[in-house]
A = this chain, B = another copy of it.
């Protein structure tokens, strides 16, 4: 059996990055189905003729080799969360609506446009367009790149095009999830004194959560606010039974001055006396703004950096010793919503800020 070669969507990387965003949004690329958008990006980058290009699965990498004193890595994921009746895109004046407009095809478009138009940058550049960011860590394109081609990730600064609404968001919080289980003893509800109510026992878990003194930590001028919260609770056997088990799932967003062990240790200590099962933990990323390339970028972007709330792949770069910041168009709180939209003017303005820094 033979099938016709797939048609590769042509991308005009020299065009307005807002128009390029629209083209990218209109190529569906839900996690796991990034083949067509990766083909389009690879073809367009190879056509430039100035960059070394590498295809690894559905990730596309490209870099200069200009022997500049510093190298900046510019990265964006090309997948989106599932489409929710919001592809193709819709334009209303300055507003572009659709799946991935915020998270993060506008960031990808900004970086692709710079790859085409920065002919003689002052820094060496590495572009990384990777797949499967919205799903499990093991399938994330960066996981494969780090394992198979780690030399492609070497850099003095990493800029991730995740949405920050025109701010520089430095580093990121860590996140830990755990299940706290309270045990009791069943009995019939009509003879409750023969049992030990596990839901009543969970009051102590909730009381400790309420009393937890969440820190605010200033690092490199960025304020990281911690938060420790129950995100689910469940318990109960039947309407006439005193329950013998109640589970509270907690989520801890911690400042990047704690490492993962410290965060887990805190949870185990706080919930001493209960069963604590760690479900997952990911360290945060220090802002690293004291590194020269990072400080220069913050200056170029207006002089102000704020803390990133939420975990992003900047943590991977921080773990590799590379200062890393988030900088991309769109309001981060719109990510993963059906109503996702981005200002086309903001895409153009942020692209020019990056151009000034890299030129």
Q: Report which A residues bind B (CB closer than 8 A).
A: 173, 175, 177, 188-193, 197, 199-200, 202-203, 206-207, 209-210, 214, 225, 227, 229-243, 246, 248-249, 251, 253, 309-311, 333
Contact = CB atoms under 8 A, between A and B. Distances in A.
Copies of this protein in the assembly total 2
Given A231-B239, A235-B233, A242-B229, A200 B193 contact: no
B232 A235 contact: yes
A266 to B, nearest CB: 16
18 contacts: A192-B227, A192-B229, A192-B253, A197-B229, A200-B206, A200-B210, A200-B229, A206-B206, A207-B207, A229-B242, A230-B243, A231-B239, A231-B240, A231-B243, A232-B236, A234-B234, A239-B249, A239-B251
Contact of A189 (B202, B229, B243): B229
Contacts of A230: 197, 199-200, 235-236, 243
A199 B251 contact: no
Contacts of A209: 197, 200, 203
A206 B207 CA distance: 10
Contacts of A177: 239
Given A190-B310, A233-B236, A233-B246, 5 more contacts: A191-B227, A200-B206, A203-B203, A229-B242, A231-B238
Shortest 7 CB-CB contacts between residues of A and residues of B: A232-B236, A203-B206, A192-B227, A190-B310, A199-B230, A190-B309, A189-B251
Contact of A207 (B175, B197, B203): B203
Q: Is the interface of A mostly helix, strand, loop or mixed?
A: mixed
A183 to B, nearest CB: 15
A161 B227 CA distance: 58
A212 to B, nearest CB: 10
Contacts of A310: 188, 190-191
A309 B190 CA distance: 5
Contacts of A246: 233
A139 B231 CA distance: 41
A93 B229 CA distance: 58
A231 B236 contact: yes
Nearest to A205: B203
Contacts of A193: 214, 225, 227
Contacts of A200: 206, 209-210, 229-230
A253 B190 contact: yes
Nearest to A177: B239
Contacts of A232: 199, 235-236, 239, 243
A210 B199 contact: no
Contacts of A231: 189, 199, 236-243
